[in-house]
Amino acid sequence: MNDVKELDPTVVLGTGLLGASVGAALTRAGVTVHLSDAVLSHARVAETLGAGTTAKPDPAAVRLVVVATPPRSLAAVIGEALDRYPNAAVTDVGSVKGRVLRQLQATGRDLSRYLGSHPMAGSQHSGPVSASPDLFCDRTWAVTPHREVTEATADRVRALIRLCGARYVAFTPQEHDSAVAQVSHLPQLVSVLMADHLLGIPSSHLALAGQGLRDVTRIAGSDPGLWEQIIAGNVDALRPELEAVRAHLDEMIAALDDPTHRVRPILQRGVNGTRQIPGKHGAPAMDYGHLVIEIPDTPGALAQLFRDIADAGVNIEDIDIQHDLVRQVGYLEVAVEPGHVREVSEAMTAAGWKLT
């Protein structure tokens, strides 16, 4: 069975940014999507933008329900969807998984048709007007199986993820919540911590703010109503992360008593930490290849070297001048994608440069 038939028709409950984007992606693929929202005008906006129809489906025919309502309402809406659409697989796109599953289990329902999920996509804008069928392209879409889920249910959620162009990855609900506490909810709170601190700073001082401060505090400007619900749903995973940060902050404050010896190792750990983050779209962290080219001490040598590198036609990722203080000779270090090291080396050697 192909993915479109597998999911036709689908119901999307909640037509904010995520729901409307799911609707738009499935509609584009050829699936009939029925949209519903507690706020009628939201569903109408999503319909206008091509995310589906606000016409009602035949409940018995529905094959998939995607619940994209605010975090606080998820368990109730998922439960009602299981009751109302007796032949549908039901998933949700909430950012915390464990609590919702426990709430559903507490109702005593058969959960063989429920499989929670969480697409790692969003935007600083919310609401259907920012929706796009490409929102999930190449993004990771986490799925959190539990022991009651049937293979038929999992098949439909996998079809959804494929039609949205995303990449499937499975976690237990607990593992998922621990992971998002670490890589999403904790950075959110750290950003808030820095932004909150700005309220006590004179505006004349803030005139010296640069891009660094803007980057660190950008996500602190996100919707507090949504984030309050996310954090409330993941308190248990978040607390130990915040406590670990406090321990490191204590270490940092203590290090100021001996900055010459104790600050550098902390800064270096920060650099190493940034290297743990995979590349965008889930590519592994790029480990660039490096070439080191000697710069002869003759006029115009460096300008010629830049020209020859440009002629090699390879994308230069980084460039750095190094030096040998004894020999008073310079070196140019060039970083390229790992697969291109040999190519650039050969081109440079052919052009008469000495590689070290």
287 contributes a contact to a second copy by CB under 8 A:
no
Instruction: Write out the DSSP string of 261-286.
Output: HHHHHHHHHHHHHHTTSPPGGGPPPP
**Residue for token pair 């949205």:** 164
272 is an interface residue for a second copy by CB under 8 A: yes
* Binding residues among 324-343 for a second copy as defined by CB under 8 A: 325, 328-330
Nearer to a second copy, 202 or 352 (CB): 202
Q: CA-to-CA distance for 307 and 270, rounded, in angstroms? A: 35
Return the range that interacts with a second copy (CB under 8 A); candidates 77-85, 103-111, 271-279, 337-345: 271-279
| Residue 39 in the binding site for a second copy (CB under 8 A) | yes
Binders of a second copy among 191-230, rule CB under 8 A?
191-210, 212-222, 224-225, 227-228
Residues forming beta bridges with residue 10, ordered by sequence position: 33, 64
Q: Is 292 in the site for a second copy (CB under 8 A)?
A: no
Kindly state whether residue 55 participates in binding a second copy, applying the rule CB under 8 A. no
Name 34's Cβ contacts closer than 8 Å, sequence gap at least 6: 9, 10, 11, 12, 52, 53, 54, 55, 56, 57, 62
**Is there binding between residue 314 and a second copy (CB under 8 A)?**
no
Q: Which segment (2-10, 33-41, 108-116, 158-166) binds a second copy by CB under 8 A?
A: 33-41
Total number of residues that touch a second copy (CB under 8 A): 117
Spatial distance between the Cα atoms of 322 and 84, rounded to a whole number of angstroms: 68
In whole angstroms, how large is the CA radius of gyration of the chain?
Answer: 26
Q: What is the DSSP string of 288-347?
A: -EEEEEEE-SSTTHHHHHHHHHHHHT--EEEEEEEEETTTTEEEEEEEE-GGGHHHHHHH
Choose which of 56, 147, 273, 315 interacts with a second copy (CB under 8 A).
273
- If the CB atoms of residues 289 and 330 are measured against a second copy, the closer one turns out to be 330
Q: Which stretch binds a second copy (CB under 8 A): 56-64, 83-91, 102-110, 168-176?
A: 168-176
In whole angstroms, what is the distance from residue 213 CA to residue 128 CA?
Answer: 30
DSSP letter, residue 181: I
In whole angstroms, how close is the CB of 18 to a second copy at the nearest point? 13
Helix (H, G, I), strand (E, B) or coil at 64: strand
For a second copy, the binding residue among 44, 84, 109, 158 (CB under 8 A) is 44
Minimum Å gap between C-beta 291 and a second copy is 15
Burial grade of 180 (CB within 10 A; 0-12, 13-18, 19 or more): buried
Among 245, 314, 347, 351, binds a second copy (CB under 8 A): 245
Q: Does 70 bind a second copy (CB under 8 A)?
A: no
Give the footprint of a second copy on residues 108-167 (CB under 8 A): 120-122, 125-129, 140, 142
Output the DSSP codes for 3-15. HHHHH-SEEEE--
Binding flag, residue 320, a second copy (CB under 8 A):
yes
Could you give the 3-state DSSP secondary structure of residue 144? strand
Q: How far is the CB of 220 from a second copy (least distance, A)?
A: 4
Is 286 a binding residue for a second copy by CB under 8 A? The answer is: no
Name the amino acid, one letter, at 201: I
State yes or no: residue 24 binds a second copy (CB under 8 A).
Answer: no
Q: Quick one: 80 or 333, whose CB is closer to a second copy? A: 333
Q: In this structure, what token pair is assigned to residue 19? A: 């729901």
307 sits near a second copy (criterion: CB under 8 A): no
Q: How far is the CB of 342 from a second copy (least distance, A)?
A: 24
Any alpha helices (H) in the chain, and if so which ranges? 3-7, 17-29, 40-48, 74-84, 98-106, 151-163, 173-180, 186-197, 203-206, 211-217, 224-232, 235-255, 259-274, 301-312, 341-350
CB of 73 or CB of 182, closer to a second copy: 182
Q: Least separation, in Å, of the C-beta of 5 and a second copy? A: 30
Which region, judged by CB under 8 A, interacts with a second copy, from 43-51, 55-63, 104-112, 347-355? 43-51
Which structure tokens are listed for 263?
């600050």
